Amino acid sequence: MPSNENTDLRNPSYAWVMVFASFVLSALAFGSLASISVFMKPLSEEFGWSRGEISLAYTVASFASAAFGVYWGYIADKHGTRLFGFVAAIFMSVTMYLLSDQSSLFQFYLLYFLFGAFGCAMVMSPLFANVGFWFRSNPGLALGIAASGGAIGQAIVPYVCGILIESSGWQEAYVFLAIAYIVIAFPVAFLVKESPWREQARVSTKEEPREFPLSEKEVVSWISFAVIFCCVCMSVPIVHLVPLLTDAGFTLEFATKVLMVLMICGAFGRVLGGKLGDVIGALPAYIIMSLGQTVSVVWFPHIYSEVGLYALAAFFGFTYSGVMSSILVCTRMMVSAKYAARAMSLTSFFGWIGMGFGGFLGGYFYDLEGDYVWSFAFAGLMGVINLLVLLKFWSRIKKQSRLISAS
């Protein structure tokens, strides 16, 4: 790649259009997954399914997103992401509609599997990799804004679902999602274009220069290992906060409002987490946000005042979402454009594994104990392990940098 391309820090004007497209599509994908918590009690009452069984749908969708995300990342690096939005729009809409008529756990799991494999997996890591390399200056801010769409979706979609379920029932809520998704997602899909930087890197026979002290494979290995634990930590409140609060005697409307506050603050957390990565470095930003997530998650079963719950949700939402954008920025800054979609998809693979396990185990511990105390304590423990891995990763980078400087 010519050297003047590396020193030109101007961002193409279309770069912000790609931020908008990724924002909207990730909002729809994350919003539907988060809404499982709102459908949990209605489906349990309708079919007699346990919370562990219903939570497993989140796990199935997460694992499908993980497995297929790696494949889509490979395709994106080889052929681009131009058609990804269209495929995702169709599958997200169709699966939401079919969920309104499902009547067995097998159907429930199968539809969420398809939603994960051909919806979430296509509009997250591959598109985020595309967005990151539209920007030569402030990529962290751009990725943070794009990723904040997921938090906005997690705020709005479950809240709307709660209103629809109370007024019309769970089936009508799924039908509404199906219609809304095709109306919103399909036009936005036309906006997806490949980054010129990634297009040039894909066809170039020259090795793209990197200044990071560790190899791309080692970077992906470290981030992937840490991501498992941080995503287990964050997924327990995402999936189980609404049933936790309604069990405590709060109304469904209040519970979805608390989740909405969590996710709206999460939108700010993703933006500021991304920008923090631009200012102090991606990995330090990841560590700071992980610390906030870990110390706050354990308190959810022990706070009973409305004001306290709003405050805790706001803080947790800000920090957990900062974690998510920090992961993207770490990958963007530590790997080459040619490898970006595969790298983000691989780290997302392990993130989805963690999200899936956390969502399921939160319900499993509830089924064992009859309350959520152990579920959220387990989430905190996973957060501690994530922090230990990140600190070791940081130490490894510093050590390798010193070795390179000395040689």
* Residues 287, 28: Cα–Cα separation, whole Å: 28
Lowest mean pLDDT among 206-210, 289-293, 325-329: 206-210
Q: Tell me: the pLDDT tens digits for 92-106?
A: 999 999 999 998 999
Q: Are 91 and 114 in contact (CB under 8 A)?
A: yes
Confidence of residue 208 (pLDDT cuts 50, 70, 90): low
pLDDT of residue 5: 40
Residue with the larger pLDDT of the pair 200 and 9: 200
Q: Are 22 and 128 in contact (CB under 8 A)?
A: yes
Q: Are 355 and 362 in contact (CB under 8 A)?
A: no
Residue with the larger pLDDT of the pair 9 and 53: 53
Domain map (residue ranges) of the chain: 12-200+214-406
pTM for the model = 0.77
In the chain, the amino acid numbered 86 is F
Confidence of residue 2 (pLDDT cuts 50, 70, 90): very low
* Residues 358, 379: Cα–Cα separation, whole Å: 7
pLDDT of residue 375: 95
Instruction: Please name the residue that has the structure tokens 């429930």.
Output: 108
pLDDT of residue 181: 92
Lowest mean pLDDT among 98-112, 165-179, 349-363: 349-363
* Residues 89, 95: Cα–Cα separation, whole Å: 10
- List C-alpha distances in Å: 235 to 96, 232, 300, 341: 21, 5, 13, 23
Percent share of the chain, pLDDT over 70: 96
* Residues 207, 203: Cα–Cα separation, whole Å: 11
* Residues 216, 334: Cα–Cα separation, whole Å: 7
For the beta carbon of residue 384, count every other beta carbon within 10 angstroms.
15
Mean per-residue pLDDT, 218-243: 93
* Residue 168 pLDDT exceeds 90: yes
CA 240 remoteness from chain centre: 16
Please identify, in words, the CATH class of the domain defined by 12-200+214-406. mainly alpha
* Residues 15, 191: Cα–Cα separation, whole Å: 11
* Residue 406 pLDDT exceeds 70: yes
Q: Tell me: the pLDDT tens digits for 306-318?
A: 999 999 999 999 9
For the beta carbon of residue 203, count every other beta carbon within 10 angstroms.
8
* 80 φψ region: left (φ > 0), alpha (ψ -120 to 50), beta (else): left
Q: Are 243 and 295 in contact (CB under 8 A)?
A: no
Q: Tell me: the pLDDT tens digits for 256-280?
A: 899 889 988 988 998 998 999 889 9
Select from 343, 345, 346 the least CA-distant residue to 331: 343
pLDDT of residue 205: 63
Q: Is the dihedral of CA 281, 286, 289, 294 positive or negative?
A: negative
Q: What is the mean pLDDT of the chain?
A: 90
* Residues 305, 81: Cα–Cα separation, whole Å: 46
Q: Which two tokens stand for residue 44?
A: 């349990």
Percent share of the chain, pLDDT over 90: 59
pLDDT of residue 133: 86
